[in-house]
Chain A
């Protein structure tokens, strides 16, 4: 951003104030995470009795919670499952949504309009309203629950609307039709045009959709819990179920398990951070 020289001192003061305010809000935002990290390293008794106490003051630091969470979750296996589901569904929804959005933008016909309207409307369907019909169709009638593929397919379907919506905005605003017309004259087919010319232009919004979707898939609890029951197939969030007892929750293990689940997605987010904002800049708001 260009530095403004107008009203130097006043600007500096405002910036300093803004900075202080920001830091206060930021600390408030981070507070729960801080609590999670601190308490994940404590014993249950200390967590309950003195959640705010700093480390080392009561019985000291211990990695027992992490160890317990790691084994009880069958971490490596659950991690593998989460990875397979998240990666496949993300790739699938990104490509399919980009294509569908491209079609909608370039074809201003009734089908496009109807599809788009339906998708926007569907974003406000409460999941409760389709939960039981969904299992009764896919389980009862088609009998294909308890497969990773089914979960991947459902994730794809559920995130389609939002993804198309974002791609739609981006393509409309940032992909000049002239480029395609030129390609058309050069004899490219429609699919060549799309994959060679349009798709590379979509890079910013693709990063955005990759992170947003993979985050949602990685963390989702309700849908996988309906689809998967086989222990071997459980994803990370599902594998932490046993920490929540009937009567009381095992806070230490929950927090350790939570950190174990979050770290991978956190890394992905930090890595893609810059592109994400770029994508939203160009996509959603145009």
Chain B
């Protein structure tokens, strides 16, 4: 019995191995009924025009090698691509290291510093930058690109330590076609200006046969950060205002039970909960399924950000289809900025190691950053290859996917507000748990508010 089993497994293994070598070796496509529209099949490469390049490279840096720690998994291959092109042009080698799963960017940076081999450049979240900047970061205040990123710079005690890599925006994603098909009329997102308008639209969709028109992610980063942080960000729509709100909550000056934005936020969250497609088991909702549901038209809305595009694409969405963002409606006042604008601000930041890197490495890293902002090729690659919304005013390129494009257009039309709340690193996980409890109807508003207050009371 054992012999037979062993030989069977062995043959199977060898057969599988042979087959794979064959497949990858000859590039023959093998599959019985693979869908020709499957987005996974061939990675589209956007052509980059490299004919014009007026960027001045510092030839003395040729042969320098720098490392870039990437915590934005979805642009890993794009960054490698970018590094390759930069090396061809400048002679500087850029090694892109990913943050492996199970590690947070911060943990990775800490362990790399401990191991004495920190990356030259590191892509981090804003909170991480603030935590590490003064101890480890290189002062970048004098860099030429700072002039192009007005309004998007993060400062620590008046100094700039980080390069804003991208703008990310979030709100309620709508699938225009689904709405129009259901209602039999054209849909203009501008007509939805208040909570009541939104509810009315939802009810009409329900009547038209879309039973539960909203997809609502249960993940703690979604409810704990992207939802809940509206209470800070809509304080007055600026980052300073968000910081002020947090200070007041910490000090106990702002009573969350009486704070308008708190109850308004929960009103909106309750609406989302009520029309949630996974209402029966909200915490069992699956992220990938939400993308599929939105594309298929089982739902019409999904609360998320422009980073969701690859997921929608995986689910079958095409670049020429119409998707866009509605604001997170806080109340019924059409003049309130929160009902007119969507939140969009720089998210990932690039920090330069100031502690271990040599002068040459620093110079090469700075050149790389300037190349991204000022060279024709860098500008193109940032937008087209990485599919990023650039925070730099001089970048003439427009992102091509509908979500990023919508954010880009709204930024330029002035219908976004740039407020990012700087919260402690465990905010999303601790309060994400509290929000999940509320989401699953395991606690009421009072208890949720108490959890939030308790959390802030524990912070120094």
Contact = CB atoms under 8 A, between A and B. Distances in A.
A242 B289 CA distance: 20
A122 to B, nearest CB: 22
Interface string B289-300: 101100000000
In this complex, the member of B101, B102, B308, B314 whose beta carbon has the largest number of chain A beta carbons within 10 angstroms is B101
B287 A247 contact: yes
B24 A67 contact: yes
B31 A225 contact: no
Contacts of A246: 72-74, 307
Contact of B16 (A60, A61, A135, A263): A263
Given A140-B114, A246-B74, A267 B10 contact: yes
In this complex, the member of B17, B19, B31, B307 whose beta carbon has the largest number of chain A beta carbons within 10 angstroms is B31
Interface stretch (A87-95, A96-104, A268-276): A268-276
Interface stretch (B34-42, B57-65, B358-366, B437-445): B34-42
Contacts of B103: 225
A247 B288 CA distance: 9
A48 B73 contact: no
Contacts of A226: 111, 115
B112 A229 contact: yes
A180 interface: no
B31 A63 contact: yes
Contacts of A248: 287-288, 291, 311
A145 interface: yes
Given A45-B315, A64-B40, A266-B9, A135 B24 contact: no
A221 B23 contact: no
A66 interface: yes
Nearest to B119: A229
Nearest to B27: A67
Interface string B91-116: 00001011011110000001110111
Interface string A43-71: 11100110000001001111110111011
A145 B117 contact: yes
B314 A44 contact: yes
A158 interface: no
Contacts of B289: 48-49
Interface string B6-18: 1001100100110
A219 to B, nearest CB: 14
Nearest to A145: B115
A65 B101 CA distance: 20
Given A59-B34, A59-B35, A67-B24, A241 B116 contact: no
Given A49-B292, A64-B40, A43 B114 contact: no
A132 interface: yes
Interface in A220-252: 221-222, 225-226, 229, 231, 238, 241-242, 244-248, 251
A143 interface: yes
A157 interface: no
A170 to B, nearest CB: 23
B74 A44 contact: no
Given A263-B16, A267-B13, A229 B117 contact: yes
A18 to B, nearest CB: 17
In this complex, the member of A242, A245, A247 whose beta carbon has the largest number of chain B beta carbons within 10 angstroms is A247
A146 interface: yes
Nearest to B38: A43
A153 interface: no
B19 A242 contact: no
B292 A63 contact: no
A44 B288 contact: yes
Nearest to B31: A62
B114 A139 contact: yes
Contacts of B73: 242, 244-246
A279 to B, nearest CB: 16
B296 to A, nearest CB: 9
Interface string A123-155: 000000001100110111001011000000000
Contacts of B288: 44, 48, 248, 251
B311 A247 contact: yes
A242 B315 CA distance: 19
A144 to B, nearest CB: 9
Interface string A7-48: 000000000000000000000000000000000000111001
A61 B33 CA distance: 7
B246 to A, nearest CB: 25
B23 A67 contact: yes
A270 B215 CA distance: 47
Given A71-B24, A139-B115, A247-B287, 5 more contacts: A44-B314, A62-B30, A66-B23, A247-B307, A270-B10
20 contacts: A43-B40, A56-B32, A62-B31, A64-B38, A64-B41, A67-B23, A75-B20, A132-B110, A139-B115, A146-B115, A229-B97, A238-B100, A241-B98, A242-B73, A242-B76, A247-B287, A247-B307, A260-B20, A263-B16, A267-B13
4 closest A-B pairs by CB? A139-B115, A60-B33, A62-B31, A244-B101
